[in-house]
Structure 1
């Protein structure tokens, strides 16, 4: 099996939790190390890997793939440097800070024949995979509306300066927003138009921390919401069709288990509690049913499997650069909509 030599651009929470564990267990990847500016931590967890003093040292090594997992405002600069060095890249969300940046990265990757994927891991959450299955089965009939929430209760400002200072990558719209938007586009395609409401709700907050986006399709409306002031959780996913409804709480356990240092496996990993099963209330073959639906297993390993297949076997990336462009188009439209107080056509 071909080994894809892979390096990270940081080993903070995202490198330690979302990337290194999967690169370590996947037989197709070899984790070479990470660029670490001050704290040298990666060798505590993976003693045989390298801690690179600079991005130039990292790119000068025999690296095939680079994970760009730095703050959002740096994604374009670093991803461009990675691609121009002839390396494949995975870029975390938000892909970039503007549509123009996203399109430029996509063009560079295409010109150089490199693979460029966006790390939209939430497509492989257990709750979303279950919602996706219900929609594909068509048991709800023609869809009328959907509402996705990514809510938390956390009134305190983050200790991470890049998250709370005014910069092009800060704010909930470019933090949790890309997850919600990507899931909606994955299910329903790009909308015709967007209406966005963006707020600052925490005391002394300098960045947006509440969003309500309406994606407008021909015969469907999709509302996407995220807030830091939701103590009693809404359903993560609410879908209404002409035959029935499906309500699913957010329940994916992967992030919490990774933060506890648990190692992913392919048997029981990503299995959420039965208490968080979704409720299906619909009509099938003329019979009304109202029942709980078993949740599918989540596994971010599938994303890395897709990245491996894209590089080793020249397949399409699991989340393409064009997927990233579409998300940025909706983010820019939401900002314009909020500023101009009107619906923005895409």
Structure 2
């Protein structure tokens, strides 16, 4: 497609939590996108939220002749085959994180997209969280001096093991495959590719089948980035901390967009994405604490970027190479956790 008044017709594959909570409402909020098809085995559940939308089996929806963009929000191990099929059918593709299960699959998808002249991106929606936008503002302001330490936590309190694919043994399951890509992407987005990664994984809940605790240290020349996720944290400290030669900054409280979407708030509502929790700057010399307002979160910007890339040749909101770099670090993390060594990147 190029400049046209016709909307970009979107097929959403998968209508579980992620498809229903994030992708469908964000797509529907964007002028110039039309959610034309949902790939699901549960048409009644789809029609409860989206009356009248066409529903078909996932595999069929991936290559449907009447859509332009395919969004894949299915279990992780299906991302590669569905994306490959859609690209070969001439569709532009968005894949929910993790992009793929392996780096080899990620690089293969990029090659298929290039071969068929299609756009390929990954839904790293957290780049548009208030927390990440606030961190970028603080870094750009230079008030921290030279940054030496970046730390981010994505912790939950879910002590009971549940019967679902994310917590069952299998390719792409476990807490780190769920939350690790978010934290890795936001770190690379802010600081670029690290020199090395050191990782550790554990299963701490009784009866757990997959990892429910993960810890990564990304090595930079004069900085370390610490990424942490656990399903056994109640309360806890700041979600983000940044320390530098002139001071520190911390952000407490999670971005509001996910709970707002859970409550069916439209992304076009003026209250959408407003974060009441301010950050705090700690002056290193005086100890004075200064509140820093949080920008409004705006995950809908991802789909605005996809629309513009398809209709007018704008840049992808998340370049394919960024998706590959996250997979490179993710694969290095798993190798480090498995082998007990630091994995360096050439």
Unmatched 5+ residue regions in structure 1? none
- For residue 208 of structure 2, the aligned residue among 205, 208, 216 is 205
Matched, 1:155 2:159: yes
1:35 pairs with one of 36, 39, 47: 39
Match of 1:175 among 147, 172, 178: 178
Provide TM-score, normalisation by structure 1: 0.95
Aligned to 1:51: 55
* 2:283 alignment partner, SS class: strand
Shift of 1:96: 0.5
Q: 1:107 maps to what in 2?
A: 111
Q: For the Cα contact (< 8 Å) 1:40–1:51, is it kept in 2?
A: no
**Structure 1 position 244 matched with structure 2 position 217:** no
In structure 2, distance between residues paired with 1:251 and 1:204 = 29
| Aligned partner of residue 41 in structure 1, secondary structure | helix
Aligned counterparts, 1:1-346, within 5 A = 1-56=5-60, 59-160=63-164, 162-265=165-268, 267-273=270-276, 276-282=277-283, 289-346=288-345
Q: CA deviation at 1:242?
A: 0.4
Query: What is the TM-score of this pair, normalised by structure 2?
Result: 0.95
CA shift at 1:46, angstroms?
2.1
1:133 deviation in Å?
0.9
| Shift in Å, 1:289 | 4.5
CA–CA separation in structure 2 for the residues paired with 1:54 and 1:269? 31
Looking at structure 1, the residues matched to 315 and 253 of structure 2 have their Cα atoms a distance apart, in angstroms, of 29
Structure 2 CA distance, aligned partners of 1:184 and 1:54?
A: 33
> For the Cα contact (< 8 Å) 2:215–2:227, is it kept in 1?
yes
Size of the aligned set, in residue pairs, is 341
Contact 2:62 2:82 in 1 (8 A): no
Deviations 1:140-163 (A, max 9, x none): 011011111000111112332x11
Q: Structure 1 residues 290, 98: CA separation in 2 closer, same or farther (over 3 Å shift)?
A: same
The answer as to whether partners of 1:238 and 1:247 remain within 8 angstroms in 2 is: yes
Structure 2 unaligned regions, length at least 5: none
Bigger CA drift: 199-208 or 41-50? 41-50
SS at match of 1:173: helix
Alpha carbons 2:265, 2:272 under 8 Å: kept: no
**Shift in alpha-carbon separation, 1:266–1:54, aligned structure 2, 3 A:** closer
Alignment partners' CA distance in 2, 1:126 and 1:205: 32
How far is the alpha carbon of 1:287 from its aligned partner? Answer: 7.9
